[in-house]
């Protein structure tokens, strides 16, 4: 009985299976890729290999000189204006991150979804950081077609966090840099920006990937909440102490009872099939009315998800600031009340009445359709609460339909629900 010939050790093992340093591994990867035309699988990450391949297809040479010119003034102005909300949401986290990195020599870079830098750490120029001084300037374009392989450009292509060490940069002149970047998404799940940590001439002395990931998540959570319109915002996690941290799961629910946005932590807890436009009841096992009732509780409460997982959940109503203070000026006139002319004095009076519980209750009472049975005569506030509960029940918790039935705006209805005392 014949046996196949035994494979030689040379055919089953790489040429150099052991390395003293990561630099040696990257050097071998570059030799195999650029000199031998082989894919250096296992030596560098797949996302870096794909970036190298794209640069080669674009006919870029690793040895060519790179020009670190900022984008045009008009493009920079447009980028700063377009990313105003991102910069506002990131401001506090960027300050805390820069304070934490004060003695490490790292720069904090924030780019928009196209790679244009909209924030950089201000640092004193030193001769030891010639490349970093050129890169870390407002308006520099970090996109792959400009600077080749770097952490932000790889994130923009792959959508995932990545670290690019020294020789993994495509161009030779950038191989003194080490950078770690993580994506920041908006409420629709699209890339809103990239947070990056970069150091020159020395490797990171801490876990830069973990640190940049935490702060990118914190910025993303702030961006989601700051951009929320009239939404029911749910905060939840398997441990209540994780709420109000970057690890919390966040979901925004619209008046139609469907998910408008959710963050990555919520995606992990609710399952990979959870998407915007899903019914909140299908994801949480509660109707919109039941979720709204949880806004009365000051402390997080346990909730068993349909998957069987128990989480600690806190609910709060979020309305646009303008709606909170001037809903009466834009709300349809209540039944039996004449519409006032739109003048500055009328708008001010309407805004004041919107914050008055008595006037709110009166408006809700006046909007009661004759088809509904007459409610028990109690105080105006109790009357308004009962009216809202009956209208919500009649429409299955749909905020929009309830607001139309009562002749008030959704913002006013949200505010009235939020002002209720916590349940006993």
Q: Render pLDDT for 347-391 as a digit per residue (tens, 0 to 9).
A: 333 333 333 333 434 444 444 444 444 433 344 456 567 778 877
Q: Are residues 80 and 212 in the same domain?
A: yes
Q: Give the domain CATH number at 92.
A: 3.30.450.40
Strand order in the sheet with 249-253: 259-262, 249-253, 231-237, 310-318, 301-304
| Residue 113 covered by a domain | yes
Which long-range contacts link 9-15 to residues 24+ away (Cβ below 8 Å)?
Answer: 14/42
| Residue 308 covered by a domain | yes
Domain count, the chain: 3
Q: Are residues 80 and 220 in the same domain?
A: yes
Interaxial angle between packed helices 208-226 and 84-100, expressed in degrees from 0 to 180 and rounded to the nearest 10: 150
Q: Are residues 235 and 280 in the same domain?
A: yes
Q: Are residues 195 and 314 in the same domain?
A: no
* Rounded Cα–Cα distance for residues 144 and 66 (Å): 12
E-strand stretches of 149-304: 162-165, 177-185, 191-200, 231-237, 249-253, 259-262, 301-304
106 and 147 Cβ atoms separated by less than 8 Å = no
Radius of gyration over every alpha carbon of the chain, rounded to an integer in angstroms: 28
| Residue 47 covered by a domain | no
Q: Give the per-residue pLDDT at 22.
A: 81
* Rounded Cα–Cα distance for residues 35 and 265 (Å): 43
Q: Are residues 311 and 246 in the same domain?
A: yes
What is the maximum alpha-carbon separation in the chain? 103
Q: Are residues 91 and 218 in the same domain?
A: yes
Q: Give the per-residue pLDDT at 16.
A: 53
181 and 80 Cβ atoms separated by less than 8 Å = no
Does the global pTM surpass 0.85?
Answer: no
Q: Domain end: 177, 193, 225, which one?
A: 225
Domain extent at residue 185: 73-225
The phi and psi torsions of 224 (rounded to 5 degrees) equal -65, -45
Q: Domain end: 204, 225, 246, which one?
A: 225
Q: Give the per-residue pLDDT at 391.
A: 77
| Residue 342 covered by a domain | no
Q: Are residues 280 and 374 in the same domain?
A: no
Q: Give the per-residue pLDDT at 17.
A: 54
> And the tokens for 55?
């640069």
Q: Are residues 126 and 210 in the same domain?
A: yes
Please work out, in degrees rounded to the nearest 5, the angle formed at the alpha carbon of residue 326 by the alpha carbons of 320 and 332. 105
| Residue 63 covered by a domain | no
Q: Domain end: 225, 254, 283, which one?
A: 225
Which of these, 172, 64, 155, 67, lies nearest to 114 by C-alpha position? 155
| Residue 49 covered by a domain | no
Q: Are residues 84 and 216 in the same domain?
A: yes
Looking at the chain, how many residues does it have?
424
Q: Are residues 221 and 80 in the same domain?
A: yes
| Residue 11 covered by a domain | no
424 residues of the chain, pLDDT tens digit each: 444 444 434 444 455 555 567 888 999 999 999 999 999 998 999 999 999 999 999 999 999 999 999 999 999 999 999 999 999 999 999 999 999 998 898 999 999 999 999 999 987 767 788 999 999 999 999 999 999 999 999 999 999 999 999 999 999 999 999 999 999 998 788 999 999 999 999 999 999 999 999 999 999 999 998 876 678 999 999 999 999 999 999 999 988 899 999 998 998 999 888 888 889 999 999 999 999 999 999 899 999 999 999 999 999 987 654 333 222 222 333 333 233 333 333 333 333 333 333 343 444 444 444 444 443 334 445 656 777 887 788 777 888 877 777 666 777 777 777 776 665 4
Q: Give the per-residue pLDDT at 185.
A: 93
| Residue 68 covered by a domain | no
Q: What share of the chain is helix, strand, coil (3-state, %, to 5)?
A: 45, 15, 40
Which of these, 6, 212, 186, lies nearest to 106 by C-alpha position? 212
Q: Are residues 87 and 202 in the same domain?
A: yes
Q: Give the per-residue pLDDT at 146.
A: 95
Q: Are residues 193 and 238 in the same domain?
A: no
Q: Give the per-residue pLDDT at 13.
A: 42
């Amino acid at each position: 009985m014949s046996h196949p010939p035994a494979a030689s050790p040379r055919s089953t093992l790489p040429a150099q299976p052991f390395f003293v340093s990561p630099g040696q591994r990257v050097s071998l990867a570059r030799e195999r890729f650029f000199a031998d035309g082989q894919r250096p699988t296992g030596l560098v990450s797949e996302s870096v290999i794909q970036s190298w391949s794209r640069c080669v297809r674009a006919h870029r040479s690793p040895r060519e000189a790179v020009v670190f010119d900022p984008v045009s003034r008009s493009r920079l102005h447009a980028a700063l204006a377009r990313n105003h909300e991102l910069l506002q949401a990131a401001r506090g986290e960027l300050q805390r991150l820069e304070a934490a990195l004060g003695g490490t020599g790292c720069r904090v870079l924030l780019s928009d979804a196209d790679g244009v830098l909209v924030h950089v750490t201000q640092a004193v120029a030193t001769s030891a950081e010639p490349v970093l001084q050129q890169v870390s300037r407002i308006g520099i374009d970090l996109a792959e077609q400009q600077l080749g392989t770097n952490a932000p450009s790889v994130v923009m292509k792959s959508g995932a966090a990545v670290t690019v060490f020294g020789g993994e940069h495509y161009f030779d002149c950038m191989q003194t840099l080490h950078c770690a970047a993580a994506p920041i998404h908006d409420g629709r799940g699209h890339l809103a920006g990239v947070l990056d940590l970069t150091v020159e001439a020395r490797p990171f002395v801490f876990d830069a990937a973990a640190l940049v990931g935490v702060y990118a998540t914190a910025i993303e959570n702030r961006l989601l909440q700051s951009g929320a319109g009239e939404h029911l915002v749910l905060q939840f996690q398997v441990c209540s102490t994780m709420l109000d941290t970057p690890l919390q799961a966040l979901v925004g629910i619209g008046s139609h009872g469907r998910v408008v946005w959710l963050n990555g932590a919520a995606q992990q807890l609710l399952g990979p099939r959870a998407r915007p436009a899903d019914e909140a009841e299908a994801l949480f096992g509660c109707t919109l009315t039941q979720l709204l009732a949880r806004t009365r509780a000051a402390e997080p409460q346990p909730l068993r998800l349909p998957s069987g997982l128990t989480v600690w959940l806190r609910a709060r109503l979020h309305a646009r600031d303008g709606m909170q203070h001037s809903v009466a000026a834009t709300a349809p006139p209540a039944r039996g009340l004449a519409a006032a002319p739109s003048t500055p004095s009328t708008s001010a009076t309407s805004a004041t009445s919107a914050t008055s519980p008595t006037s709110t209750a009166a408006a809700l009472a006046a909007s009661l359709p004759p088809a509904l049975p007459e409610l028990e005569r109690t105080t105006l506030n109790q009357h308004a609460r009962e009216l809202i509960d009956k209208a919500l029940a009649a429409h299955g918790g749909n905020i929009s339909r309830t607001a139309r039935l009562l002749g008030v705006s959704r913002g006013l209805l949200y505010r009235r629900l939020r002002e209720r005392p916590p349940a006993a």
